[in-house]
Chain A
Amino acid sequence: MRRKPGQLVPLEREILEAALSLRGMGVVEAHGFLLARTMNAGADARRLTAYGSLYKALDRLERAGLLVSRWEDPVYAADAARPRRRFYRVTGAGERAVAEARAADPEAVRRTAATETQVT
């Protein structure tokens, strides 16, 4: 997809909006599935973002400096009997990018804190 440098595509904006929405609920860092679930909570809850689209977009956002990520402590994951997660956190640049996108297109899809009950 051709786009201007720094411009967010809808999926990237949705991811950042979801991460910010989760942060508003006290979840500072979110893993991929939680982001997918949050992005989808307001719409058809069965239609989660595709694996490929989600992780490609997360990669792109991280390389653009709009997100930072880290692996979960493997000991904690082992205690929970599941694979370790990779956690993403919105950076200051990410927040600014979302604010600019909101200002440029206030009618675009936004996820809100109303999704809280569906993601926790």
Chain B
Amino acid sequence: MLTLRLPGRRGDGSAAVRGWVAFYTLGLPRALRTRRRDEINADLADETLDAVRRGRQQTLFGQRMRRLVRGIPADLAWRVLDTPTMARELAVSDDWAPPTRWSMALIAIVAISSAGGLAIVTLPVFLGAAGPDSWSGWGPVGFTIGSAGILIGVLLAILWPGRGAALVVPSAVVGFLAAPWLLGGWLLAIITVAVRSYVARSADPADVERLDPRRRR
């Protein structure tokens, strides 16, 4: 069996190619990113093997640089024009992606905070302990609507990230208009659903399996 130290061989140009691929695939859904990176990695290995067989290791660097540079326009076109469609096709999958530990922790923090805020503002009303000025003006109403929307939205986002985000974002805007001094809290709610949506899109097991059979059970 011919065994080569294929990845990262010094001076053969493979590191430059891998670096470029890593750069232009940044931020793509994991399935797309992994597929392109693995495919180029395999190509580099086969190219090295081919050069060894032909005794052309000396010309390998130049060949790789030519292939890399000539392909840059196509790489950029793929990234800008093709991947948005491919990512959308992945995102419409019905399969549920469980939240990661981090996104679940954020959801818990936001849910507990908004439930606490709701309780502080609304409980006195229900308990009859509210003073005559407690509900005067738009502030408490907006705060209540915003907090309730965020609470429902982040819980919804566990099952349906897109729907959760669709509820949380306008609720946070309403909450901000009512209580701008809580800007950090409203932003945290938006960041939470954004993280949840991103992670769900990137890690959807069905998508990963479809494009990456290595993960099949």
Contact = CB atoms under 8 A, between A and B. Distances in A.
A102 B71 CA distance: 27
A56 B39 contact: no
B61 to A, nearest CB: 12
B103 to A, nearest CB: 28
Tell me the dominant secondary structure on chain B's binding face.
helix
A83 B78 contact: no
A81 B7 CA distance: 11
Given A49-B67, A51-B40, A55-B39, A83 B6 contact: yes
A14 B102 CA distance: 47
Contacts of A53: 70-71, 74
Interface stretch (B46-54, B116-124, B172-180, B191-199): B46-54
Contact of B214 (A37, A82, A84): A84
A53 B68 CA distance: 10
B71 A51 contact: yes
A48 B4 contact: no
A47 B70 CA distance: 11
Interface stretch (A28-36, A92-100, A105-113): A28-36
Given A56-B75, A81-B1, A81-B4, A51 B214 contact: no
Report, as a range, how many residues of chain A touch the other chain.
Answer: 20 to 34
Contacts of B214: 71, 74, 84
Contacts of A34: 46
A83 B67 contact: no
A51 B68 contact: yes
A83 B41 contact: yes
Interface in A57-106: 57, 59-60, 63, 70-71, 74, 79-86
B63 to A, nearest CB: 6
A114 interface: no
B134 to A, nearest CB: 60
B95 interface: no
Interface in B8-48: 17, 21, 35-36, 38-43, 45-47
Contacts of B49: 82
B42 A54 contact: no
A33 B47 contact: yes
Contact of B67 (A51, A63, A74): A51
B41 A71 contact: no
A48 B41 CA distance: 16
Given A50-B68, A71-B213, 15 more contacts: A33-B42, A37-B50, A46-B63, A47-B66, A50-B66, A51-B43, A51-B71, A52-B73, A53-B70, A56-B82, A59-B82, A79-B1, A83-B7, A83-B41, A85-B46
Closest 6 A/B residue pairs (Cβ) = A52-B71, A50-B71, A52-B74, A33-B46, A52-B75, A50-B70
15 contacts: A33-B47, A33-B50, A50-B69, A50-B70, A51-B17, A51-B40, A51-B75, A52-B76, A54-B71, A56-B74, A59-B82, A60-B82, A82-B49, A84-B38, A86-B38
